[in-house]
Each structure stands twice: as structure tokens, then as C-alpha cells.
Amino acid sequence: MAEALLEVADLNAWYGPAHVLQGVSLSVAAGEIVALVGRNGAGKTTTIRAVMGLIANRSGSVRFAGAAIGARPTHARFAAGLGYVPEERRIVPGLTVRENLRLGLLACGLGAAAEGRAIDAVAQRFPRLGERLGQEAITLSGGEQQMLAIARALLSQPKMILLDEPSEGIMPALVDEMAELFLELRRGGMTLLLVEQNVELALEISDRAYVLDQGRVVHEGASLTLLADPTIRERYCGV
Amino acid sequence: MQLDLIAVQLFTGVALGAVFVLLSIGLSVIFGMLGVVNFAHGAFYMTGAYAGVFCLAVTGNFWFALAAVPLLIGALGLGVERFLIRPLYGRGPDYPLLLTFGLGYVLVEAVRILFGTDGMPFDTPSLLAGGIDIEGLGYFPAYRLFVIAVTALILLLLWLLLERTRYGLIIRAGARDPEILSILGLDIARVWLLVFGLGTGLAALAGLLAAPMRSVNPEMGVAVLVEAFVVTVIGGMGSLLGGAIAGLLVGIVVSLTALWMPQMSTISMFALMTLVLLIRPQGLFGRGLSR
């Protein structure tokens, strides 16, 4: 394997006295889709929040695109090319769809014209968002909000995006559409790290997967192999 | 009761309310974004009045003071956020609260040492010394009209800033979800710094504008801080529109009770606050607790 785009080594994290990540190591090569699965509370969300620098009490090394970013603040990790779609989408209430999209461009320092063009491109790619640009974003359906959150993270053209539970609370037809979007992104050269409760979906669209349990990586391998192994899914991925 | 008396008192209430508006907007936006209950806000207001006294003594020009004081005290606010409050983020709201509480005392004491404990005279600028006499309605001092106009202008500028610029978008989003701004690549610490500077600059402007109407003394920020909190609670924490409307409402209620029931005038705003909280615990325009 070529040098990994994202290389996480011996990641530890604490919430108060609780040692929630205990030496997690994982790597993602450029152009891969990697899934992070495991039951509720296994440490999946904490892992990607730590990768984004959002956990105050942490240790371990995070390398991205050849640079050690483990000590950098969150906004500098974004600048390095890490996009992140957090759990529950985090659409900002009180703002329209267009304004929520503009948030994704603020750090890029574009002029108004370039900003408008970028948002028009999103509107074409996601017609459902395009039709609702002036609408208050919080009134969108769960699936539309998820698309908005993903589109917002893609606007700055990151090298890689981290997705936390993108299929949560979304109707099945849209889940398929989203899986298709992820595959299409990868064909375009994007790298994805996908945290999912929906193990089947995650393993079907990813190349490799890590199984997390109680803050440790307990299994890793090709997604198809894990998908074919019912014991792993029963033991570590039941809700 | 005569109509002219009511009109004049109403007008006085609006001018008083304008000062509350400027003061509570800063308090509210600092709380909304930074989560800091700024107990030094009244002291910044008082420092604004004294910085005005100083500017006037040096230059003799009120208009220069009007421009310089908010910038000067705003810069002081930047320093306070950067070096005193920033190290306390992430430790819970009581740390910055206690810090600003103490800072308020330090500022009051510093002013006492520099300017003395007695009050200072602050003349109405000569250009605004007169008034407008409307037949049958009463006499309206020009300076109060000026205070109302300046406040209206500031509100308009703030509205344009919030609704029409990228900084406004950052502030509106940051008041709801600061973390998403870091995730999307913005240095939230810088945003907080500027918001704190803006809030303290507005408090100083309020202090300067109030100086010719209310007396200038080291304790002038103490009572007004309570009034600003009342306004902020009535309007709803974090709401610009709420702060503006509640400020005017409190100014008018205080003035009118002073006219009809003078003995009630000091508690009327608390009665109003109680009433609002009973009906809408999140304040008139507050969002309540989300997430």
C-alpha cells in the first residue's frame, strides 16, 4: 500500500475519568472508502472527533497528507483538507439552505461571485437542495438535511471527508441514493472514512473496515471478508 | 394627567431605553456566542463615560470623543478577552463569570484612583444644548433626540452587518453552534475576540451617551448592569431584536411609573421581568434551550 493519506496511531481519549479510546490505530489510503463499525458506545464518534481535534483530553498521533496534525486546532485540520460531516448533521437553525452552504465556503475566502458559482454547482448536483435554497434549512426532511451537510462539507473541496452516521434517521430510498453518492465521490478521487451503525450498508460500499469495541480496534480487514463473517457482526455490531 | 406630560415622559423613556438597548446588545451577544456572563459590562459602560470625560478634557471636542471612546474601550475589551478570559474557556461558565465580576471591581477602583470618588460634571455638547418645543406637546431636549438617533443608526448598522455580510453570517451561525464553525475551518477564537471587543465598545458608547443625562461617577455601572441584565432577560438572551424592543420597553415603563407612581419606579422593571418570565420563560424573542 502507498503511504496512507490519514494515519492515526495509538489514539487515546478520555471523557473525565472514562478512558473511551484505548490506543486506536488506523490508516486510510488516498481514494479508499474505509468504514468504522461497532456498537453504540464503542468509540466510533469519539475516534473521528479526536481526528478533527474536537476532544480536549486526548493523546496519540494523527498524520494527514504527510503532516503531523495532532496538535493543530480544528480549523487548521480543515485547512489541511479534512472535511467532516458530524453526527446529527448540525444544520444551523435560523439560517437558510443557501446560508448553510455559504458556511462551508467562509474559510475559503472567495468573492461573492465565486461563492455564487460554487453554490449554483451544488444546486445542480443536488436538485432537491437547489429548489430550496431560500428555505429555512431546519424545515428540510432528515435526508435533505443530510445531503445539505454533505454538500456543505464538500464545497471547500477537501482531500478527505469523515462522515458520522450519515444514514441515521433517513428513509431507505435516500440511503441508497447516498451510498451511490459516496461511490461516485470515490470515483472522482475522494477519500472517505465512514462511521456507521448500519453495518451492512457500510461494509457493502467500503473497501476496508475497522471494527471497534470498547475503545479498541478488535478487527480489521477487507469489507467483503467481514461481511461474509457472521460471527464478527453478531459479536461486535449488534445494537 | 395632561397629554404633554405623558409625551415628554414617554420621550425620556425612549432615550433612556436607547442606552439600555446599546448596553444589553453587547451583554446578550457576548453571552449568546461566548457563553460568558459578563459582569464587567457595567464597568465598561462606566469606563466609557470616564474615557469621554478624559477625551473632552484633552481635546474639548465631543464628536472626537464619540468616535474615539468606543474604539478605545473596545480595544480594552479585546485585551481582556485575549489575555484574561480566553484561558478560562472550557472550564465551565463560573470561571469567566467570577473573573469579570472581579474585573468590574478593578476597573471601578482604577477609575476612583485616577479621577477621584466624586462625580464628574459632563456638559451637554453645545450643538445639542437646546431643545424642540412642540406646541401643546411639550419641550423635547435635542440631546435626547440625538441619543435616540445614534442608537437607531447603530441598530441599523448592526442589522446590516448581521444580515448582509459574511461576518454577520459567522456571528449568526456561531450564536447557535460555535463548533460547526471550527469544523468548517474558521478560527472561532478570533470570532469570539472580535465579538467581545464589539460588545464592550457598545457598552462604552452607551456610557458616553448616558453621561450628560445621568451623572458620571465610579459606581454608575453598578445599577446599570442590573438594568442591562433585566433587559437582556426580558428580550431573550442572544436576540438582537429582543434586546432592542425590551430596552425601549423597560425605558418607557421606568419613565411612566416615575410619573404616575414614583415610589414604584425602581421596581417596575423587575415586575415587568417577572411578568414576562411567567408567560415566556425564554424571554420575548429568546429561543429557549435547544439541543
Average pLDDT over residues B12-32: 92
Cross-chain CB nearest to B184 (options A56, A78, A93): A78
Q: SS3 helix, strand, coil % of chain B, rounded to 5?
A: 75, 5, 20
| Contact flag A94-B177 (C-beta cutoff 8 Å) | no
Nearest-CA distance B240 → chain A (Å): 13
Tell me if B269 sits within 8 A of B227, measured CB to CB.
Answer: yes
Cα separation, A136 vs A149, whole angstroms? 14
Whether residue B45 contacts residue B220, with contact meaning beta carbons closer than 8 Å, is answered with yes
Contact B183 A79 (CB under 8 A): no
**B170 at the A interface (CB within 8 A)?**
yes
Whether A153 is in a domain gets the answer: no
What residue in B sits closest to A93 (Cα-Cα)? B176
The winner for highest mean pLDDT among A235-239, B123-127, B189-193 is B189-193
Q: Is residue A135 part of a domain?
A: no
Backbone phi and psi for residue A222, each to the nearest 5 degrees, phi listed first: -65, 140
| Cross-chain residue pair B177–A75, CB shorter than 8 Å | no
B169 neighbourhood in chain A, CB within 8 Å = 95, 99, 102-103, 106
- Asked if A64 and A55 touch (Cβ cutoff 8 Å), the reply is no
Predicted local confidence at residue B91, as pLDDT: 85
Sheet of A33-37, strands arranged across: A82-85, A160-164, A191-195, A33-37, A208-213, A216-222
Confidence of residue B288 (pLDDT cuts 50, 70, 90): low
Q: What does the block give as the cell for B126?
A: 453645545
DSSP string, A47-105: HHHHHTT--SSEEEEEEETTEE-TTS-HHHHHHHTEEEE-TTTTPPTTSBHHHHHHHTT
Measured CA to CA, the distance from residue B290 to residue B243 in angstroms comes to: 20
Top pLDDT among A94 and B75 is at B75
Residue A90 has its nearest CB partner, among B170, B180, B189, at B180
Chain A environment of B181 (Cβ under 8 Å): 103, 106
Grid coordinates given for B36:
460568558
Q: How many domains is chain A built from? A: 1
Give the position of cell 490519514.
Answer: A6
- Interval B169-179 mean pLDDT: 88
- Using the Cβ of B165 and the Cβ atoms of chain A, whether some distance falls under 8 Å is answered with no
Strand partners, A58: A13
Rounded to a whole number of angstroms, the distance from the CA of B242 to the nearest CA of chain A is 15
Average pLDDT estimate for B162-179: 89
CB-based contact, B172 to chain A, within 8 Å: yes
Contacts of B91 in chain A (CB under 8 A): none
* Interface touch A75/B188, C-beta < 8 Å: yes
3-state secondary structure at position B147: helix
> Is residue B240 included in any domain, yes or no?
no
Cα→Cα distances B35→A226, B30, B77, B92, Å: 46, 7, 16, 9
DSSP class per residue in A124-136: HHSHHHHTTTTSB
By the 10 Å C-beta count (0-12 exposed, 13-18 middle, 19+ buried), A96 is classed as: middle
Kindly state whether B241 is in contact with chain A, defined as any CB-CB distance less than 8 angstroms: no
Chain A: residues touching B (Cβ < 8 Å): 52, 54, 56, 73-75, 78-79, 84, 86, 90, 92-95, 99, 102-104, 106-108, 152-153, 156
Question: What is the C-alpha separation between A199 and A204, in angstroms, rounded?
Answer: 8
Angle A63-A65-A71 from CA coordinates, rounded to 5°: 35
Shortest CA gap B105–chain A (Å): 32
* CB atoms A79 and B185 under 8 Å: yes
DSSP 8-state code for residue A156: T
Q: Is A24 helix (H, G, I), strand (E, B) or coil?
A: strand
How close B199 gets to chain A, by Cα (Å)? 22
Average pLDDT, chain B: 92
> Domains in chain B: how many in total?
1
Which residue range forms the structural domain that includes residue A73? 6-96+158-236
Q: What is the pLDDT of residue B291?
A: 34
Average pLDDT over residues B201-211: 97
Which residues from B are below 8 Å from A106, CB to CB?
166, 169-170, 181, 184-186
- Whole-angstrom distance, CA of residue A135 vs CA of residue A143: 15
d(CA B286, CA B278): 14
Distances (CA, A) of B268 to B22, B276, B282: 21, 12, 20
Residue A24 Ramachandran class (φ > 0 left, ψ -120 to 50 alpha, else beta): beta
The answer, yes or no, to whether residue B290 has pLDDT greater than 50, is no
- Of the residues A51, A57, A74, the best mutation for testing chain B's interface (the one with the most B CB atoms within 10 Å of its CB) is A74
Shortest alpha-carbon distance between residue A225 and chain B (Å): 34
CATH number of the domain to which A92 belongs = 3.40.50.300
Question: How close B274 gets to chain A, by Cα (Å)?
Answer: 28
Residue A188 covered by a domain: yes
Residues of chain A with pLDDT under 70: 1-2, 237-239
> In this structure, what are the phi and psi dihedrals at residue B98, rounded to the nearest 5 degrees?
-65, -40
- The pLDDT value recorded for residue B1 is 57
Query: How many interface pairs between A and B have CB atoms less than 8 angstroms apart?
Result: 66
Domain assignment present for residue B269? The answer is: no
Residues of the domain holding B115: 3-218
